[in-house]
Amino acid sequence: MRLALALALALALALALALSIPAVFGLCAGAPAAAKSLSKPLKIVAFGDSLTAGYLLPADAAFPAVLEKALRKAGYDVTIVNAGVSGDTAEDGLARLDWALADGADGVILELGANDMLRGLDPARTRQTLDTILAKLAARHIKVLIAGIRATPSLGTDYAQAFDAIYPTLAAKYKAPLYPFFLQGVAGDRNLELDDGLHPNRAGVERIVAGLLPQAETFVRSTAVQ
């Protein structure tokens, strides 16, 4: 009788330990992925034009919201602030930079220049303005991920070469990570664009985020340790 009771108690204890170990280590079925080891929650400002703002899209389908969702799904405690304004040129962005960063930021994703290109503005002027923005951010010790824009072929080879060189040149100068073309995989694909042929639709934004996400994760990790 005593032997049977002892065996029963031993089995009960073994079962209890087996059930408790996964819970203790967060391995139980259905447990959410553990948050990545960031030193603090991060605030990243997505600073750009209509491509960032989410032209004609609901707020939750705009680039900053979709990127934030993807980063959080990957386990990063990050907030992406939508500081995109439709129609902004680089100079418009410079004019509102201090206001946009009034509440502070750990990092900035800089996406400007598309409207400069569409208006045929002098690439040297756009480069100088973006240079000034980057210098201001550097002075505030705010890290930047640069999202580049490429000129449409209709503007000619000379213009395209001068404009497209803006982003790698500035990325090298400020030692900033560069995502070469914000609309990579989207531009020219009518299934991923709005009817205007310029802006991404919902699926287009998802494609943009999928392409940029690996670099965004690296940027977030580097920003967390600055």
Active site residues: 50, 196, 199
Strand arrangement of the beta sheet that strand 107-111 belongs to: 78-84, 42-48, 107-111, 143-147, 178-179
- Looking at residue 63, its amino acid is F
- Would the CA dihedral through 103, 182, 201, 88 be positive or negative? positive
Q: Phi and psi at residue 146, in whole multiples of 5°?
A: -90, 125
Q: Identify whether the C-beta of residue 45 lies closer than 8 Å to the C-beta of residue 108.
A: yes
DSSP strand pairing (107-111 vs 78-84): unpaired
Q: Identify whether the C-beta of residue 152 lies closer than 8 Å to the C-beta of residue 198.
A: no
Query: Which of the 8 DSSP states describes residue 105?
Result: -
Angstrom distance (rounded) from CA 7 to CA 144: 64
* Closest alpha carbon to 213 in 4, 73, 62, 23: 73
Question: CB count, 10 Å around CB of 36?
Answer: 15
Which residues partner with 54 through β-bridges?
Answer: none
